[in-house]
Structure 1
Amino acid sequence: MKKTILLLCSLIASSQLGFSQVEYKVLESEKLQTKRQLKIQLPRNYKSNVKKSYPLVLVFDGDYLFEPVAGNVDYYSYWEDMPEALVVGINQSKTRMDDTKYDLENYLPVDQGADFFEFIGEELLPLLEKNYRISNFRIVVGHDLTANLMNYYLLKENPIFDGYINLSADYTDVIKNNLPGILSKSKEKIWYYIATGTDDADLLKESNLQMINSLKEIENEKLYFYDDNFEEATHYSLVGRAIPKAIEDIFSVYRPITSKDYQEKVLKTKGTFYNYLVDKYEVIQKLYELDIKIRVSDFMTISSAIEKKKEFEQYEDLGKLAQKEHPESMIGSYFLARYNEELGKPKRALKEYQEAFSLNEASYLTKDMMIEKINSLKADLGL
């Protein structure tokens, strides 16, 4: 049977750019000998950014989890608190019990549970890789039974996911007994999130809290572990609170420099402000395998630190980096102008301000501001 994806309909026409696009598709599976319904949300401007690849967020229980996950991914990526990502949901309303079936003696996937487990890695992911521009950073999301299922991928030698968002996972004994040891020895970076609630089902809450306590004891720099026990949250209401929290935790390094980061990290850095900025984006590249331009907002935050501490010599390297990252913007020339101005080179500063005037405005830097700087320096120089 030939593996194919049939397009049923598109919620938003592909010609509309700047909006998330949701497609409904059907995958005919050889492994399952049946068809499976998928929901796929494309990142904003996916059609126009033809060379860009995106992280994948795979959502089990797509019938009810896809929309809250996709909505939060779109929202957080819009504000650059996470990278744009492709979100794929698998509808399981009629099949989840069979999809998550395991042997009652060894607790390993069995029958359709085993087939579904293999379907994800052997059919679905290769097909998504073939048809969409997916990067190597991949997250999976599940709720109770499906959350337990996705943990079996961590029992494999080479897990196919990097991030695991467990929403009140219904852990089997084999996961309880083996997961802490596996994560403690992992040589690959793993992001692992657990959520439960004070009003969650008693057995699930107890199981999740035990897992949280076990994983908190792990000392492995490759493991990024996060957890929440939401007050007065039930088995179902915790989902709405956990999804955005998990995204914030997993992508905490990715987001722009916050006011808290500025006060507690940037101003207190032991190195230069320039190195703090460069190191931040090197970490983003290494952690998430994403190569992104340094944000204009982060350049301006570092500029604020330089001005506050009066370490104007740092503007030289920062200006050159800004010119490389954003050659069309005036920020690089402005930083070099400030460097020359404060280090007693007014003629050179004047030239840089004039160059900045010819480029695009950015943040609070405007052409009117550059004219004021130019006129002020000309007056000082008697020109």
Structure 2
Amino acid sequence: MIKKSFTLICILFFFSGFSQKIINKKINSEILGTARNIKIYIPEGYEKEANNNYPLAVVLDAEYLFDAYVGNSVLFAAKDKAPKQIIVGISMKDSRKRDTYININTGKLTQENIAFYEFINDDVIFYMESNYRTSPFISLIGEGTSANMITHFLKEPAPFINSYICINPTFPDFIGSQFQAYNLERFQKEDNTFYLYTNNSTSFSIKKQVKIGELQKGLSSLKLKNVNFINDTIFTVNSVSAMSEAIPRALTKVFEIYSAISKEEYDENVKELSPSDAIAYLENKYLEIEFLFGSNLGIREQDIYAIENIVIEKENGDQLKEFGRMILKLFPTSPLGDYYIGRYYESGKRIKKALYHYKIGYGKMDPSDPNSDAFYENILRISGQ
């Protein structure tokens, strides 16, 4: 209980600082035949970071989901666990039944459901992509019947939604066959990465738990290389608590690739790699971050250090030069790329080339950097050789 309260306090603390960044807008929709209110959150630094693009998150049920999602988004970005996001919330207070409620026995979309689906795609997403610097990565977030509506985007002929976050989903009775009709195997033909989050909860009725559990079991049996099924179960006493827990749990998995290499990631994906494969893994990680999220991070030093031992200790350090080149490619202002190239030449007794790269690396460092003296010692050590 204390842990959950602390998390909530953190979210409220960050939330208190972004109220001035909310834009309220009314979209006149020919599809709906009426106007609909939306709320847009623009992340801090958007105006200054003119070369950056940002993932787009579309939040349904904005009356109660928007603030919770934005609060978590700000916290995750501040902790470097996720990129900053542009977030748009769609107001559904007076239209939820018309927008997303379905016949639970048949699951067929009504004409109103179809119109709302097209409104999300043709009005809201089109408006956001036309007016803001969005990256290709799009998330849809919904709760209850809105979560079911989100899954229908899985049947798009050319999938363009990356992340489907279905919180406390209310599915029709034959949800299994509905998902079979989506033909998820075809996603493997797409040069992209996808995430589908669903949560079960002990607070649901037994019938609902069984229905979601059977769907999650079926999804877990699918082994699709670029589709990540996040089948969650939340042990709580009510659906509100389940919702508040589901958002950060979904963000943790959806943006897992963005975070620095964790011990779990290292043990599962990196530890047994050859030096060349470890270098390629790190390079691909940051290229994918830039492609998906529009975030040019350079490269985190802690990720460089994460694979350093593999490169140095395996294959007699023969890949140190390629390691340095990769770092210079992704993070040209870092002295570490020149350091590893210098170390490669030094190990081969090619002192002049080693000294050349050590000097270049040292020249990139701020004199106030506590590591600059240690770096300069490399120059002093080999200058007399």
User: Normalising by the residue count of structure 1, what TM-score does the alignment of the two structures yield?
Assistant: 0.84
Which string of whole-angstrom CA distances, capped at 9 and with x for unpartnered residues, describes residues 47-76 of structure 1? 122233222111111111112212222222
Q: Secondary structure at the match of 2:117?
A: helix
Supply the AA of the counterpart residue of 2:220: K
C-alpha distance in 2, partners of 1:109/1:360?
Answer: 60
Q: Is the 8 A contact 2:283 2:326 kept in 1?
A: no
C-alpha distance in 1, partners of 2:365/2:20?
Answer: 28
Aligned equivalent of 1:262: 266
- Structure with greater contact order relative to length (CA < 8 Å, sep ≥ 6): 2
Structure 1 pair 106/196, CA: closer, same or farther in 2 (3 Å)? closer
Aligned equivalent of 1:352: 357
Cα deviation, residue 33, structure 1:
3.0
C-alpha distance in 1, partners of 2:104/2:327?
Answer: 59
Aligned equivalent of 1:194: 198
Q: Secondary structure at the match of 2:23?
A: strand
Q: Is the 8 A contact 2:99 2:116 kept in 1?
A: yes
C-alpha distance in 1, partners of 2:289/2:128?
Answer: 24
Structure 1 pair 361/336, CA: closer, same or farther in 2 (3 Å)? farther
Q: Is the 8 A contact 1:201 1:235 kept in 2?
A: no
Q: Is the 8 A contact 1:141 1:164 kept in 2?
A: yes
C-alpha distance in 1, partners of 2:140/2:252?
Answer: 15
C-alpha distance in 2, partners of 1:248/1:222?
Answer: 17
C-alpha distance in 2, partners of 1:20/1:221?
Answer: 41
From 342, 367, 370, the counterpart of 2:372:
367
C-alpha distance in 1, partners of 2:237/2:186?
Answer: 32
C-alpha distance in 2, partners of 1:84/1:64?
Answer: 21
Supply the AA of the counterpart residue of 1:131: N
C-alpha distance in 1, partners of 2:222/2:233?
Answer: 19
Q: Secondary structure at the match of 2:329?
A: helix
Q: Which has the higher helix share?
A: 2
Supply the AA of the counterpart residue of 2:239: H
Aligned equivalent of 2:341: 336
Deviates more, 1:288-297 or 1:345-354: 288-297
Structure 1 pair 358/253, CA: closer, same or farther in 2 (3 Å)? same
C-alpha distance in 1, partners of 2:259/2:381?
Answer: 37
| Identical pairs, percent | 24
Q: Does 1:205 align with 2:209?
A: yes
Supply the AA of the counterpart residue of 1:280: K
Aligned equivalent of 1:225: 229
Structure 1 pair 265/299, CA: closer, same or farther in 2 (3 Å)? same
Aligned equivalent of 1:248: 252
Matches within 5 A, 1:17-56: 21-56=21-56
CA-atom RMSD in angstroms: 3.0
Aligned equivalent of 1:315: 320
Which string of whole-angstrom CA distances, capped at 9 and with x for unpartnered residues, describes residues 301-351 of structure 1? 222433455843222112222223322221222122222222223333223
C-alpha distance in 2, partners of 1:312/1:361?
Answer: 28
Q: Does 1:214 align with 2:239?
A: no
Cα deviation, residue 361, structure 1:
4.9
Q: Is the 8 A contact 1:23 1:41 kept in 2?
A: yes
Q: Does 1:97 align with 2:102?
A: no
Structure 1 pair 96/160, CA: closer, same or farther in 2 (3 Å)? farther
Aligned equivalent of 2:118: 118
Structure 1 pair 337/39, CA: closer, same or farther in 2 (3 Å)? same
Cα deviation, residue 170, structure 1:
0.5
Supply the AA of the counterpart residue of 1:339: Y
Aligned equivalent of 1:10: none
Q: Is the 8 A contact 2:52 2:295 kept in 1?
A: no
Cα deviation, residue 289, structure 1:
7.2
C-alpha distance in 2, partners of 1:152/1:317?
Answer: 45
Supply the AA of the counterpart residue of 1:303: E
Structure 1 pair 228/198, CA: closer, same or farther in 2 (3 Å)? same
Cα deviation, residue 169, structure 1:
0.8
Structure 1 pair 239/270, CA: closer, same or farther in 2 (3 Å)? same
Structure 1 pair 111/351, CA: closer, same or farther in 2 (3 Å)? closer
Aligned equivalent of 1:73: 73
Cα deviation, residue 294, structure 1:
4.5
C-alpha distance in 1, partners of 2:268/2:347?
Answer: 27
C-alpha distance in 1, partners of 2:48/2:18?
Answer: 9
Q: Is the 8 A contact 1:20 1:74 kept in 2?
A: no
Residue ranges of structure 2 left out of the alignment (5+ in a row): 1-16
Residue ranges of structure 1 left out of the alignment (5+ in a row): 1-16
Structure 1 pair 104/291, CA: closer, same or farther in 2 (3 Å)? closer
Cα deviation, residue 368, structure 1:
1.4
Cα deviation, residue 145, structure 1:
1.2
Which string of whole-angstrom CA distances, capped at 9 and with x for unpartnered residues, describes residues 114-140 of structure 1? 322221112111111211122222110
C-alpha distance in 1, partners of 2:313/2:262?
Answer: 17
C-alpha distance in 1, partners of 2:268/2:111?
Answer: 53
Deviates more, 1:155-164 or 1:218-227: 155-164
C-alpha distance in 2, partners of 1:343/1:294?
Answer: 29
C-alpha distance in 2, partners of 1:160/1:315?
Answer: 39
Which string of whole-angstrom CA distances, capped at 9 and with x for unpartnered residues, describes residues 148-182 of structure 1? 11222223434452221111210124644221342
Structure 1 pair 158/322, CA: closer, same or farther in 2 (3 Å)? closer
Aligned residues: 363
Structure 1 pair 310/284, CA: closer, same or farther in 2 (3 Å)? same
Q: Is the 8 A contact 1:195 1:229 kept in 2?
A: yes
Supply the AA of the counterpart residue of 1:216: S
Q: Is the 8 A contact 1:58 1:140 kept in 2?
A: yes
